[in-house]
């Protein structure tokens, strides 16, 4: 059976789909997936052995310049590439109007979430076989349920992303190390910098090294401040996802916040902690057999706000993280 899977973005959403792919790989003999995904995430589907072809799409880039001749040429090539094969199943696992549009362009019977289950109900109009999947559950559970109904098997017990971390060679570093994923998009998702500094001191005192990746100038500056004056704390060079995965795959422990990279760690089954304050881990948070989600117990959390609604004049900010101090994180992972 050949399935065209449509799950284009974001980083976390792409990783949330891998357990469903693994279920199908285990339950349906001979199944193979072609995966349509945003160009920036094109490497991720290749990490699973059931994915034999990746079809990159650049909608995030194209939509900003639809009248540009080069963009239109790229769109024409993409359409031709998408139409090359006829599939046994065309499965939209995203449930958005944009993903439904791509589903409609493909060749094969079209499956997806019905109007009561999809995030955007109009998307269901594109499917010949709409499927009901109850809301109010984690995205991983809902996607596994969708695959099971479409492909005809019961959802198996356990959670497995199907990613073999041995595919990445160990980086050139001697000894055991922790990775701190300290960067994220909102200020209210950031664990206090003073907490990272204290945790680095605890980790290095225990005989481990600390490695600090970064993706922009702000994150680099923070990493340098955390490392300053601390032996055994290392700021990594800027690198792409595959190179960074080598560091994650061979880490002894990983500590992260609500960021896409924390989902990567969950897929790699590394002992880790994911820290949530302003955001809610219930529906789309990090989930995996080796990850512990630590959420704030403050009465205003999760506020889902990009700015703190109840700042305090003293102590680490945002205050919602005070119930997740460095000692708690360190003790859980040691």
Q: What percent of the chain has pLDDT over 70?
A: 100
pLDDT of residue 241: 87
pLDDT of residue 334: 94
User: For the chain, what is the radius of gyration of the CA atoms?
Assistant: 21
What are the tens digits of pLDDT across the range 62-92?
988 989 999 999 999 999 999 999 999 999 9
11 — phi, psi (to 5°)? Answer: -55, -50
Answer yes or no: are the C-beta atoms of 308 and 188 closer than 8 Å.
Answer: yes
Q: Looking up tokens 């969708």, which residue turns up? A: 146
Rounded-to-integer distance, Cα 267 and Cα 165, Å: 9
Taking residues 38-43, report their average pLDDT. Answer: 93
Find, among 38, 5, 273, 28, the residue nearest to 143 by Cα. Answer: 5
Q: How confident is the model at residue 152 (pLDDT cuts 50, 70, 90)?
A: very high
Res 198 pLDDT > 80:
yes
Partners of 5 in the beta sheet?
35, 91
Res 159 pLDDT > 80:
yes
What are the tens digits of pLDDT across the range 97-140?
999 999 999 999 999 999 999 999 999 999 999 999 999 999 99
Q: Looking up tokens 């499927």, which residue turns up? A: 131
Largest CA distance in the chain: 62
Res 310 pLDDT > 90:
no
pLDDT of residue 129: 97
Least confident of 12-21, 249-258, 292-301, 307-316: 307-316
Q: How confident is the model at residue 13 (pLDDT cuts 50, 70, 90)?
A: very high
Taking residues 209-218, report their average pLDDT. Answer: 97
- Rama region for 39: left / alpha / beta (φ>0; ψ in -120 to 50; rest): alpha
Taking residues 221-242, report their average pLDDT. Answer: 96
The CB density around residue 123, as the number of other CB atoms within 10 Å, is 26
Rounded-to-integer distance, Cα 125 and Cα 95, Å: 11
pLDDT of residue 312: 86
Res 313 pLDDT > 80:
no
């Amino acid at each position: 059976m050949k399935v065209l899977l449509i799950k284009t973005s974001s980083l976390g959403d792409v990783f949330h789909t891998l357990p469903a792919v693994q279920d199908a790989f285990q339950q349906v003999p001979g199944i193979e997936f072609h995966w349509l995904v945003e160009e920036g995430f094109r490497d991720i589907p290749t990490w699973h052995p059931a994915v034999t072809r990746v079809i990159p799409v650049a909608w995030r880039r194209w939509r900003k310049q639809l009248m540009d001749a080069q963009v239109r040429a790229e769109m024409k090539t993409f359409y031709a590439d998408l139409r090359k094969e006829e599939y046994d199943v065309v499965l939209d696992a995203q449930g958005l109007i944009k993903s439904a549009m791509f589903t409609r362009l493909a060749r094969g019977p079209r499956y997806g979430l019905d109007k009561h289950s999809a995030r955007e109900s109009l998307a269901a109009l594109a499917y010949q076989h709409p499927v009901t999947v109850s809301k109010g559950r984690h995205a991983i559970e809902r996607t596994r349920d969708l695959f099971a109904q479409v492909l005809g098997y019961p959802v198996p017990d356990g959670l497995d992303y199907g990613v073999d971390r041995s595919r990445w060679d160990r980086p050139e570093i001697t000894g055991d190390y922790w990775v701190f994923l300290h960067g994220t998009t909102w200020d209210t998702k950031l664990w206090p910098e003073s907490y990272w500094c204290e945790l680095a001191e605890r980790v290095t005192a225990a005989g481990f090294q600390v490695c600090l990746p970064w993706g922009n100038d702000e994150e680099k500056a923070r990493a340098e401040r955390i490392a300053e004056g601390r032996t055994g704390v290392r700021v990594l060079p800027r690198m792409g996802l595959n190179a960074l995965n080598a560091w994650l795959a061979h880490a002894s422990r990983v500590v992260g916040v609500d960021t896409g990279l924390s989902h990567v760690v969950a897929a790699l089954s590394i002992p880790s902690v994911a820290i949530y304050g302003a955001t809610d881990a219930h529906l789309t948070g990090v989930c995996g057999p080796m990850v512990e989600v630590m959420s704030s117990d403050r009465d205003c959390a999760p506020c889902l706000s990009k700015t703190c609604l109840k700042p305090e004049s003293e102590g680490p900010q945002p205050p919602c993280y005070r119930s997740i101090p460095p000692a708690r994180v360190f003790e859980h992972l040691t």
